[in-house]
Amino acid sequence: MEFCDDCGSMMKADDGIWECGNCGFTKPKGDASEYTVTDDQEVSEVIESSGETSLPETNALCPECGNDRALWYMQQIRSADESETRFFICTECEHKWREDDN
């Protein structure tokens, strides 16, 4: 996919050239190899994870093990006019539960 240098619209491929349907700007199609990801490039893009989480921690009683610390996050799972749902993950047993606003 290519975008027009002049107006930013999406361009169409036509007989070896890119042509903008909005403003008529054209440019030659490049070699397909310039868009190909090599094995070396793909390997260099892998990001190693330390396994640590960046979720905040709070006081919350786990219903499974009784631990009083949990990681938490909020997520919109209902319609946009409803409040977000809070999810908790126990720091001890990793039990996950949710809390809705009533």
State how far the alpha carbon of 78 is from the alpha carbons of 12, 73, 84, 88, in Å.
Answer: 39, 15, 8, 18
At 84, is the secondary structure helix, strand, or coil?
coil
Parallel, antiparallel, or unpaired for β 96-99 and 11-14? unpaired
Task: Give the side-chain half-sphere CA count within 13 A for 55.
Answer: 17
Which segments are annotated as binding site? Answer: 4, 7, 20, 23, 62, 65, 90, 93
Dig out the tokens for 14 from the structure: 């036509």
Which segments are annotated as binding site for Zn(2+)? Answer: 4, 7, 20, 23, 62, 65, 90, 93
